[in-house]
Amino acid sequence: MKIILVGFMACGKSLIGRQLSKKIGVPFYDTDEIIEKKLGKTVNEIFIAFGENHFREIEKQCIENLKLPENFVLSVGGGLPCFNNLIYELNNLGSTIFLKVDLEEIYQRLLSSKNNRPLLINLDDKDIRSYLQELYAQRLNIYSNAQFTLDVTHMNVNQTIEHLLNNVNLLPQKDQ
């Protein structure tokens, strides 16, 4: 069972991924966490110290160097699939699932967590909406290359997990 969750910031990838992995009893990986551990810095600090381009390079290396077991759930940073054609790499690693959340809902969630978001931290509140609108539209094009899309705008974490588990064609068989 190889499940890879992609989607915009604040769509719930890490939370859903972690809980899904617990429920099905497979290891969970999160690229932001792996990178933070490796560098001993938060993603915010990495952006400040080295800039976004360098962070994208680190994300690429993270995916290239990942030693994944036979069964896993992997959640990747919101921007990761959108650089260096990594969405296609991810498609080769397992079943990619785009967790889609409407822009308005994303906007509301991000307004309250702006300071943990290196892409937003320097923007005035009044500019955040238009910035997100543009980024969301660009990234939707990329995320739509995932193998599956699930609209989770109106689902809580448990409902999302139930939904994923009920669509068993997403989840490869036991002996995999």
**Interacting residue ranges for ligand S3P, rule: CB under 6 A:** 9, 13-14, 32, 43, 77-79, 117-119
Nearer to ligand S3P, 42 or 172 (CB): 42
Spatial neighbors of 131 by CB under 8 A, at least 6 apart, are 119, 120, 123
The gap between the terminal CA atoms of the chain, to the nearest Å, is: 6
Q: How far is the CB of 174 from ligand S3P (least distance, A)?
A: 30
Cα 26 from Cα 151, distance rounded (Å): 24
Nearer to ligand S3P, 83 or 172 (CB): 83
Q: How far is the CB of 53 from ligand S3P (least distance, A)?
A: 12
77: nearest Cα among 32, 23, 131? 32
**HSE of 156 in the Cβ direction (CA atoms, 13 Å)?**
1
Q: How far is the CB of 77 from ligand S3P (least distance, A)?
A: 3
Spatial neighbors of 35 by CB under 8 A, at least 6 apart, are 43, 46, 55, 58, 59, 62, 77
Nearer to ligand S3P, 32 or 171 (CB): 32
Nearer to ligand S3P, 14 or 91 (CB): 14
Q: How far is the CB of 52 from ligand S3P (least distance, A)?
A: 8
